[in-house]
């Protein structure tokens, strides 16, 4: 019987090494990195738009999409430094893409870096791109079964943000079920219920993010 070669380990090894190098870079520069993962239309960019007035110059964004720079332009208009990556046909961002983006960004004064990954809950959940944490973004318009159907995305995420709750009066969506299902896969996951349109829950989410960033910096010291 021939020797079995685990290709997944070979393929992931170079990316894993670069992700560690990126983490070291971010730590040395005092930047806390959040990898936002979620389906197309889940409200990732709208969440960042709602956060923009509260963040000012201390945050930046790397946008990942197959095509166009529409999301980056939306955020730049609000004063949030944003850089667009177009993956063409790749279903997720990888550490090499992040490294190349950083070479074209001004990070002076940046304390928080949000990476909005390509829209899906499968591929981005499986790859580390140098972040401190992943955050799963799911909307009430997608249905309340998403946390149960995509357990890996929940398991690797430190928080779940449920968006578009201003639409709840018009939908059949059990938010409590979403939270229960998420905690069944990751008991310590933080759950935030937000509306980018009304601002509900946005400040609470940001306050928690800032606590995590401060804790990471103190731990480094």
In a domain, 2, yes or no: no
Residue range 67-77: mean pLDDT, rounded: 97
Tell me, what CATH number does 134's domain have? Answer: 3.40.50.300
Count of structural domains within the chain: 1
Q: Residue 169 to residues 164, 173, 192: CA-CA distances in angstroms?
A: 11, 9, 18
pTM (predicted TM-score) = 0.92
Q: Looking at the predicted structure, is the pLDDT value of residue 189 above 60?
A: yes
In a domain, 94, yes or no: yes
Summarize pLDDT for 74-83 with one digit per residue, the tens: 999 999 999 9
Summarize pLDDT for 11-50 with one digit per residue, the tens: 455 688 999 999 999 999 999 999 999 999 999 999 999 9
Q: Give the pLDDT score at 21.
A: 96
What range does the domain containing 66 cover?
Answer: 17-208
What's the CA gap between 39 and 151, in Å, rounded?
14
In a domain, 10, yes or no: no
């Amino acid at each position: 019987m021939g020797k079995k070669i685990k290709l997944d380990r070979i393929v992931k090894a170079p990316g894993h090494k670069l992700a560690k190098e990126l983490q070291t870079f971010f730590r040395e520069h005092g930047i806390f990195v959040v990898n936002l993962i979620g389906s197309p239309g889940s409200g990732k960019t709208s969440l960042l738009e709602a956060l923009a007035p509260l963040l000012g110059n201390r945050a930046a964004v790397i946008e990942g999409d197959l095509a166009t720079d529409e999301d980056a332009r939306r955020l730049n208009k609000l004063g949030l430094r944003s850089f667009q990556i177009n993956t063409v046909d790749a279903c997720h961002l990888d550490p090499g893409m992040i490294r190349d983006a950083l070479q074209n960004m001004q990070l002076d004064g940046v304390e928080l870096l949000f990476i909005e990954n390509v829209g899906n809950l499968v591929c981005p959940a499986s790859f580390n791109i140098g972040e401190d944490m992943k955050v799963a973004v799911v909307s009430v318009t997608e249905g309340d079964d998403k946390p149960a159907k995509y357990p890996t995305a929940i398991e690797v995420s430190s928080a779940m943000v449920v968006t578009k709750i201003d639409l709840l009066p018009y939908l059949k969506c059990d938010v409590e079920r979403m939270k229960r299902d998420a905690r069944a896969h990751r008991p310590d996951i933080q759950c935030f219920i937000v509306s980018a349109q009304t601002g509900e829950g946005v400040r609470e989410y940001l306050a928690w993010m800032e606590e995590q960033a401060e804790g990471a910096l103190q731990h480094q010291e």
